Structure 1
Amino acid sequence: MNNRKYIMLDGKVIDKSITETEFVKADKNYLYDSFGKRYLDLRSGLWNTSLGYSDEIYFSVSKEFSRLMNKKLAYLDIHSFDCKLYDELSTNIISFVRNNMKKCIFTNSGSENTELALKIASAIYGKKLNVLAINNSYHGSFFGGMSVSGIDIDVNGRMGKAYEKVKFIDFPDDIISEESMLTWLEINLEQYDLFFIEPVLASAGVRIVSDNFVNEVLRLCKEKNTLTVFDEVATGFYRTGKPLFADRLKYKPDIICLSKGINNGISPFGSVCVSEGVLVRLEGKPIYHYSTQNGNLLSVSSANSVIKYYLKNGSLLEEKVGKIETQVKKVMKLYPNIVYRCVGAMLAIEVEKQDIMRLNTILKDLGILTYFYNQPTNGLTILPQFNINLDVLEKALRIILNKIS
């Protein structure tokens, strides 16, 4: 332990960061430490700053912050008072999300989204839920989130789960296992009230299934009257090439959870979007969920500025993410012995023969910031910001791959 007065709870009590590096400013795709050294951010600030450290984004948000601060109106209690900004943001979120979503609820994080989604399902069914979830998925670090996160099964065993009736199923890794899973769901799905779905397992190393498989899962859930929650905290806001992963699909989920890229990581914020069918089923049902910060005007304002940017520049972002995916796959072809998975601007590179934490540190010392995963295999996760120069991305990938091969 050092002399810091704050601690973090990341598996154990700690008071130092993974890299012990202090950053003092950011610009475009780089973070700068106190010595002036710059680092290429290939982790998008732990997947939050998808749009990069762009002048346009930060000037827009700063202008709105200044407007509120000049009025000394940074906070309102959304449960007690009205505000046009609430109406504007919610309208913009629903306009962006589409996919049969009718209303949204403001939250502070992806973890809170999971708690709220579980409460919504509990209110609809009025009983203890039978929940279906996926091994190696991640839905947050609150009790409800840990209950349905397959990546946290060991933690659940030690701490106890808020939702005890959770069945975890394996994420299919090929067409044969997809077909087997669909057969199992056809037989067993009626037993479950709710299916928590992370369409790409980001924290497990960008695990990907076919769009057809996800479509069939949603179709079966509709047929069997099982509510579906789509966790798009990592995959949303063009990360997989479309505005949402749900845009790739014919069938639509009942609930969509959003955070991270929703306001480019500027302040804590998230949103849970619900379909008309969910709203009808909630009518007259008791449900309680409240945080005094859910309507924080600075958080709402930053999300509104960023959502408006997405609505204005969607086609350009879709095109750029497509180019990022093409560039990544072009470089990876030069290293045929390295296993990787890529969709949109999400990349995982398997690293079996090296200490993943040491490799992460080596790359940091070279001025490249990546993240890592260690379940079910070990590797690096790379989520470049959308405004990255493609030549810079290629050069960085070659450095990374040469360190691995």
Structure 2
Amino acid sequence: MDPPLLVRGEGSWLYDAEGRRYLDLSSGLVAVNLGHAHPRLVQAIAQQAATLAYAAPSLFHDKRALLAKALSDLAPWPEGGRVFFTPSGAEANEDALKFVRHLTGRFKVLAAYRSFHGATHGAAALTGENRRFPAEPAIPGVVHFFAPYPYRSPFYTQDPKEEAQRALEHLERVLLHEDPGRVAAIFLEPVVGSNGVIVYPEGYLEGVREICDRHGILLVFDEVMTGFGRVGEAFAAQRFGVVPDLITFAKGVASACVPLGGVLVREGLARRFDDTPLPTGHTYSGHPLAVAAGLAALEAYQEEGLFARAYRLEAVLRDLLKPLEAHPLVGEVRGVGAFSGVELVRDCRTKEPLSPWHAPPSPAMKALHKALLERGVYLFAKHNVLLLAPPLTVGEEELAFGVEALKRVLDEVSSL
């Protein structure tokens, strides 16, 4: 079955040209947090298009100011922060890279293996998996390290507490060999996104924060996927109680209706740019249609209580996915908030992936996707991990439908 020709979206569903519908169980690419065609966003975009569809970034306009203020209020810093808008998450990470080097006067940055920060040249250099290879040779100064992955521990332990401790010792060792005085920042997804929905063991993020403080290194959270209610709070920083110095965001800020991203910088750092030129700029920075959609999205999140609803969806997903843990193709089910990962294996004992990492999808994974679409479910996967990240507006019956389809398809694939 070829990918369907989509012509419409509504709520948790996508519709093709033949009238068939598909449950969007991954919010597109973990982006459509408010579901498709949310009426508040549709109205906001239409009204903005009829009044001011574009303004140069150097000019002031109301919706940009209102959204910047709302995001500053939402950020985890008591003193607040400031935002620089970008057209995407990749560009947000590119700009954050410029900011941390400019603010610290240091050149090196660290980022984790098994991470994704974007496809542009600088963001690809930060990325710690095979999507960076086409951008190589990469920009200089980026050093990668291993972060915890309890199911496939790079530190040879089955104990989460020990996994966190060994990972922190490893990070300290890397810094020792790179000279922490030369390191501007550590970039980290507070929950690993498309590379497996890996939730770090308790104590790891806190430990990274302490290491950064000790060495004068800035901590950047890439919240392109985790931001705007995906894990149960506005940002993962609040969910886990670990406060970074900068936050990059995109996707959920406008529920993917219009491309929009940005960098949030805590006030103590941001005010440095009052006397120093900001080292970046974009034609579409703070685009009126995008920020109007973002402002409407924030209003919808707050008025509908959708950040907190992710806690309820976490419980529902946990209950629905629990039976899958006994399936012979399922190595592990994990997640937080409305963000779950199902890791598929050929053999639970050896943990051999159903689809190899750094390789095209295996025939089994292709068959799984085809069968899911035939059953009316779209599910995003990377390598051997399925990402269940429904819109925060999804109904519990819709979730049950999607997980039941997944159960049946796993049975079909295991019999091949």
User: TM-score normalized by structure 2?
Assistant: 0.85
Deviation at 1:310, TM superposition (A): 2.2
Aligned to 2:392: 386
- After superposition, the Cα gap between the structure-2 partners of 1:186 and 1:247, relative to the gap in structure 1 and judged at 3 Å, is same
- The verdict on how the C-alpha distance between 1:256 and 1:211 changes in structure 2, with shifts beyond 3 A counting, is farther
1:362 aligns to 2:345 (yes or no): no
Q: 1:123–1:286: 8 Å Cα contact kept in structure 2?
A: no
- The aligned amino acid for 2:381 is F
Deviation at residue 188 of structure 1 after TM alignment: 5.1
Q: How far 1:39 moved relative to its partner?
A: 0.6
Query: In 2, are the aligned partners of 1:147 and 1:164 still within 8 Å (CA)?
Result: no
Sequence identity percentage: 26
Contact 1:325 1:344 in 2 (8 A): yes
**Contact between 2:28 and 2:380, CA under 8 Å: does it hold in 1?**
no
Report deviation, 1:361: 1.5
Q: Partners in 2 of 1:51 and 1:154 — Cα distance?
A: 30
Q: Residue 346 in 1 paired to residue 339 in 2?
A: yes
Q: Is 1:70 equivalent to 2:63 in the alignment?
A: no
> CA separation of 1:280/1:88 partners in 2, compared to 1, >3 Å: closer, same or farther?
closer
Q: What do the CA deviations read for 1:295-328 (whole angstroms, capped 9, x no partner)? A: 3211111111111222333xx3244222221122
Q: Which residue of 2 aligns with 1:169?
A: 146
- What do residues 187-240 of structure 1 show as CA deviations (whole Å, max 9, x unaligned)? 554252210010111111101113422122112211221111100000011111
SS in 2 for 1:228: strand
Structure 1: gaps (5+ residues)? 1-17
SS in 2 for 1:150: coil
Specify which of 19, 42, 45 is matched with residue 28 of structure 2.
45
Matches within 5 A, 1:296-335: 296-313=287-304, 316-335=305-324
Q: How far apart are the structure 1 equivalents of 2:202 and 2:239?
A: 7
Is residue 262–residue 303 contact of structure 1 (8 Å, CA) maintained in 2?
A: yes
Task: Report Cα offsets for 1:59-84 as digits up to 9, x if no partner.
Answer: x233333333333x2000021x2112
Q: 1:4-403 maps to which residues of 2 (within 5 A)?
A: 19-53=2-36, 57-58=38-39, 60-71=40-51, 73-79=52-58, 81-100=59-78, 101-127=80-106, 129-152=107-130, 155=133, 159-173=136-150, 174-186=160-172, 189=175, 190-191=180-181, 192-282=183-273, 284-313=275-304, 316-337=305-326, 338=330, 339-353=332-346, 355-374=364-383, 378-403=384-409
List per-residue Cα deviations over 1:212-269 (Å, max 9, x = no partner).
Answer: 2212211221122111110000001111111110002444101001100101111110
Q: Which amino acid aligns with 1:23?
A: L
How far apart are the structure 1 equivalents of 2:56 and 2:204? Answer: 42
Conservation of the 8 A alpha-carbon contact between 1:352 and 1:379: no
Distance 2:258 2:87 in 1: 9
How many aligned positions are there? Answer: 376
Q: Supply the distance in 2 between the matched residues of 1:300 and 1:352 (Cα, whole angstroms).
A: 42
Give structure 2 stretches of 5+ with no counterpart.
151-159, 347-353, 355-363, 412-416
Q: CA RMSD in A?
A: 2.1
**Structure 1 residue 341: deviation in Å?**
1.3
Residue pair 2:232, 2:239 contacting (<8 A) in 1 also: no
TM-score (norm 1): 0.87
Separation (CA, whole Å) in 1 of partners of 2:335 and 2:301: 23
- Aligned to 2:229, the other structure's residue is in SS state coil
Cα distance in 2, alignment partners of residues 95 and 184 from structure 1: 36
- Deviates most, 143-152 or 18-27: 18-27
Shift of 1:92: 1.0
The code of the aligned residue for 1:67 comes to Q
Give the stretch that moved more between structures: 111-120 or 87-96: 87-96
